[in-house]
Amino acid sequence: MKLTGAEILCESLTRLGVRELFGYPGGAILPVYDALGKSKLHHILVRHEQGATHMADGYARASGGVGVAMATSGPGATNMVTGIATAMLDSSPVVCITGQVSSKVLGSDAFQEIDITGITMPITKHNVVVTRAEDIARTIREAFIIASSGRPGPVLVDITKDAQQASAEFDWEASAPKLPPKRVRSNHDKAEFDRAVELLNTAKRPLILAGHGIMVSGAMHAFEQFVRAGNYPVAMTLLGIGCFPAKDPLNLGMMGMHGEAWVNNAIQEADLLIAVGMRFDDRVTGDLRTYARNARKIHIEIDRAEINKNVQVDAALVGDAREVLEKLTPLIENRDHSAWIQHITELKGDSAVRDIQSLPDTGHLYAAHVINDLWKETNGEAIVVTDVGQHQMWEAQYYHHNRPRTLITSGGLGTMGFALPAAIGAKFAKPDSEVWVVVGDGGFQMTMSELATIVQEKINIKIAIINNGFLGMVRQWQEFFYDKRYVATPLVAPDFAALANAFGIRGERITKRAEVVPVIRSARESAETVLLDFRVEQEDSVYPMVAAGASLSDMIRRPNNPLVETATEP
């Protein structure tokens, strides 16, 4: 069957199971858009190509499948760069398809020509230029495999306009992927495995560091079996949140820069760290010279390049988290860690038992109130998509996730503007789930044009803006480390409720604590998107905090007065 390259692309995407893709048309991708119109694919028109990549990313993270974004050449492609880098740093399987000028004029600085494969080389897992229609099907199939296999990541496929227009024989069987024959390394040698088992069975104060890799591997069940087999307390990375239920007594919560004190102290006191699908990021370890000096380390990780990158480990088990955990679990003999767990419970001390809801209503509205109420009202079941900054950390502290893929956030790159478009993508992946955006007034203003996309697509998400009139996290650093010189952090914003109205979205402004629960209830009852503008305390800070480069033992703790302590179960 003869098809144009553009038709082959649409047919290939359909056969790969794609239903929705996010994009923005332009000259060099027009043949594909023409073919899209004749296909069954649902194209979501975004307002900026960065939004398209974040939506594809949100789609991928919520679904566990591949998200697809599309843009034209030149500025369309360069606008995708931030979204691609975001997906790269968080190992998210995104396939970006860009139009390119015709192969005959490649390299001539033609209108809207840019070397997007050159630009995105360090921020993609792989990228490729396609100049022939007959190569499109195979390349797209390869892109999906590369994006979603091993440690996932973004792949960019740049297709010249003449390849889109030319006709070629479409033969799905004949266009099977032909990836280079890579060396298959054995997962780990036996000595390394035996050492890990010995460490597990001799540890007195073991602690698991649970990361995103557990979710990526689909290892939640194997992980739980492993945790139960050894009665191991579990600390989570930001992206690991959800891989193990927050309500489980063995789950201590998030570690690192804004981790609770008992979590970081437990890491510093542990005699064995079992790192699963995490990469010892600097936001997790603090100063490496003082990090977990009492602990031997086991690293279960699919990416060999992460082994001994930041932290030297005693046993490295390179492989898929699920496979490795399934092999380890039956060999665990050392199960009783009650004294150690008891000790960690004591570390929680006062900070764990004080419920922010029991603090007197002083008339102030704190972000932690909002997020804690949101957690209770949604029974911790919503998909929450956060942006970057203070609200992101408060969400991680006060919204207790019990299920995987329910917290979607930009961890590695820390991309402001991520939340709103990523939530749109998540909603398309999980149309029956309740999706909440938790976003600051700064990040929201970066990509708020996507409100129009929400209206055009008639989707139902809920937006909670934690509005403190500052670029809050930067302001906090200025307060702590720059003597409160608030340079370029006070932030003027439009009236977000009125802005929402202008888009045709219901908007509300909330200033009092007593209004929080009713407005959340009313928003949840609505079948349409609602925007809630929470005017919270302006100079509230996230505690505890480990300053950048400081020791994990060296936390800035919550002040006694005022305010907010960690919530307990409702």
With CB under 8 A as the contact rule, the residue among 19, 126, 343, 535 that binds another protein is 126
CB-nearer residue toward another protein: 17 or 181: 181
CA distance 264 to 270: 10
111 catalytic? Reply is: yes
3-state secondary structure 542-569: CCCEECCCCCCCCEECCCCCCCCCCCCC
Active site includes 112? yes
- Asked whether the beta carbons of 528 and 359 are under 8 A apart, the reply is no
For residue 480, give the 3-state DSSP assignment.
helix
CB of 121 to another protein, least distance (A): 6
Catalytic residue among 161, 297, 376, 427: 161
Nearer to another protein, 117 or 541 (CB): 117
What Å distances lie between residue 241 and 214, 220, 401, CA to CA? 10, 12, 7
CB of 92 within 8 A of CB of 67? yes
Q: Pick between residue 88 and residue 243 the one whose CB is nearest to another protein.
A: 88
332 binds another protein (CB under 8 A): no
Contact between 308 and another protein by CB under 8 A: the answer reads yes
Find tokens 């201590």 and name the residue.
252
Site string for another protein, 259-298 (x = CB under 8 A): ----------------------------------------
Measured from the CB atom, the residue of 303 and 508 that comes closer to another protein is 303
List strands edge to edge, sheet with 407-408: 407-408, 383-386, 435-440, 462-467, 530-535, 506-510
Considering the candidates 88, 220, 236, 473, report the single residue annotated as catalytic: 473
The nearer residue to another protein, 160 or 378, going by C-beta atoms, is 160
Q: Is 149 in the site for another protein (CB under 8 A)?
A: no
Residue 436, beta-bridge partner list: 384, 462
**Segment 536 to 555, residues that bind another protein, using CB under 8 A:** none
CB of 146 to another protein, least distance (A): 6
Stretch that binds another protein, among 113-121, 337-345, 381-389, 557-565 (CB under 8 A): 113-121
Alpha carbon separation from 130 to 35, 115, 313 (Å, rounded): 18, 13, 42
Choices 11-19, 88-96, 118-126, 240-248; region in contact with another protein by CB under 8 A? 118-126
Is 473 designated active site? yes
What does the alpha-carbon distance between residue 137 and residue 235 come to, in Å, rounded to a whole number? Answer: 43
The two tokens of residue 268 are 């510093």
Residue from 17, 122, 330, 559 touching another protein (CB under 8 A): that is: 122
State which H helix or E strand residue 264 sits in.
helix 261-269
Stretch that binds another protein, among 174-182, 210-218, 241-249, 354-362 (CB under 8 A): 174-182
Region of 375 on the Ramachandran plot (φ > 0 left; ψ -120 to 50 alpha; else beta): alpha
> Is 318:184 a contact under the CB 8 Å cutoff?
no
Residues from 498 through 537 that contact another protein (CB under 8 A): none
Spell out the alpha helix ranges (H) of 335-471.
338-353, 367-377, 390-398, 419-429, 441-447, 451-457
Cβ at position 180, least distance to another protein in Å: 5
Q: Which of 1, 111, 247, 512 is catalytic?
A: 111
339 is a contact residue toward another protein (CB under 8 A): no
Chain residues 445-484 in contact with another protein, contact rule CB under 8 A? none
Question: Can you tell me which of 109, 173, 182, 487 binds another protein, judged by CB under 8 A?
Answer: 182
CB of 177 or CB of 414, closer to another protein? 177
Residues in the chain: 570
| Cβ 184 to another protein shortest distance, Å | 7
Question: Residue 68: beta bridge partners?
Answer: 95
Q: Does 121 bind another protein (CB under 8 A)?
A: yes
176 near another protein, judged by CB under 8 A: no
The four Cα atoms 224, 226, 229, 235 give a dihedral, to 10 degrees, of -70
Minimum CB separation from another protein for residue 178, in Å?
A: 11
Distance CA 21, CA 4 (A): 20
Q: Does the protein bind another protein through residue 183 (CB under 8 A)?
A: yes
Structure tokens at 249: 């007594």
Helix, coil or strand: residue 384: strand
Residues belonging to the active site: 49, 111-112, 161, 473
Which residues contact another protein (rule: CB under 8 A)? 117-118, 121-122, 125-126, 146, 151, 179-184, 303-305, 307-309
